[in-house]
Structure 1
Amino acid sequence: MRLGNTEKTTSVITKMSSSSSTNTPDSPNRSLLQIPSPIVTRRTRTKSTTEIASNNPDVKGKVKYFCRTKGHGFITPDDGNADLFLHISDIEGEYVPLEGDEVTYRLCPIPPKREKYQATHVRIVNFTPEVHHRWDCKPNEDAHQ
């Protein structure tokens, strides 16, 4: 009798492991395996964190890197502190930032410990000489200024 129960348990475990290893985008098991994103976007930011960022003063820096297709980049602060994460949802204005653009931004603490910061309310204040594209242009199109 014990052998029968062991076979049933093994069969159930085998089915569970095989179904979770073949998750497709429309699989019902897909939602069980998702890990929440550590990136804090304007949409997922809490009201209290948004208020903290809004009350912080504007700080200056330069865009170190920005990838439009990935939706993020980094800013090097003028005060020499460590580079800050920049998410596409926190960029204000109609142009895609390029490396070397001077920007103003506000510091926003990153949960859960709020020990690190990211840049929010990012505005380009001094453009580099390269042609800047508008957000409504495809990445390979020339911007019409």
Structure 2
Amino acid sequence: MQSSCRKTIAELGPPKHPVVSARSAGRTRDRSPSPMRGYLIPSPLPTRRTRTFSATVRASEGPIYKGVCKCFCRSKGHGFISPADGGPDIFVHISDIEGEYVPVAGDEVTYKVCTIPPKNEKLQAVEVVITHLAPGTKHETWSGHVISS
């Protein structure tokens, strides 16, 4: 059960700025719906760079799990994996993705897990490897080249 104090990104909306410039007054920007709308993003965002050595060792010694990429946003730097065993979706940060392709929805992946501080109640996918590219989709490499699968 979620705490009543936590809100999703969609509920928070765009940041409120105290000063509105004359250029932007009266103009709104239409946004396309995000596939990740409604998910709670862990805070602070744990990355490979900020993870402790002991957490890294525990994760790397753990079992390998299988799942499917549910969604991933390269510009936001995170996404979610649906575990093959049917558990709750697992957060994945861009810094924990191995290999040359940016994941897209439907890609089959393997991963290990570590807990997300400070409460260590939720899990984060680490050492994420795409094992099968989703058929019929275009995949982009981290360097920007696009291929069709």
Does the alignment reach a TM-score above 0.5? yes
Equivalent of residue 123 in structure 1, options 102, 122, 129: 129
Say which SS state the counterpart of residue 132 (structure 1) adopts: strand
Number of the residue aligned with 1:135: 142
Number of the residue aligned with 2:32: none
Q: Identify unmatched segments of 5+ residues in structure 1.
A: 1-20, 23-36
Equivalent of residue 94 in structure 2, options 83, 88, 93: 88
Measure how far apart 1:143 and its partner are. Answer: 3.9
TM-score w.r.t. the length of structure 1 is 0.69
Q: Which has the larger radius of gyration?
A: 1
TM-score w.r.t. the length of structure 2 is 0.68
Q: Does 1:106 align with 2:106?
A: no
Number of the residue aligned with 2:80: 74
Matches within 5 A, 1:50-69: 50-69=56-75
1:86-108 Cα deviation digits (max 9, x unpaired): 10000000000010000000011
Q: What amino acid maps onto 1:135 in structure 2?
A: W
Number of the residue aligned with 1:30: none
Number of the residue aligned with 1:6: none
Whether contact under 8 Å (2:139, 2:148) holds in the other structure is no
Measure how far apart 1:144 and its partner are. Answer: 8.6
Measure how far apart 1:111 and its partner are. Answer: 1.2
Q: Give the structure with the higher percent helix.
A: 1
Q: What amino acid maps onto 1:78 in structure 2?
A: A
1:33-73 Cα deviation digits (max 9, x unpaired): xxxx5110000000111111111111000000000010000
Between 1:48-57 and 1:90-99, the stretch displaced more is: 48-57
Say which SS state the counterpart of residue 81 (structure 2) adopts: strand
Q: Distance in 2 between matches of 1:142 and 1:135?
A: 10
Q: What amino acid maps onto 1:70 in structure 2?
A: K
Number of the residue aligned with 1:4: none
Aligned length: 108
Number of the residue aligned with 1:8: none
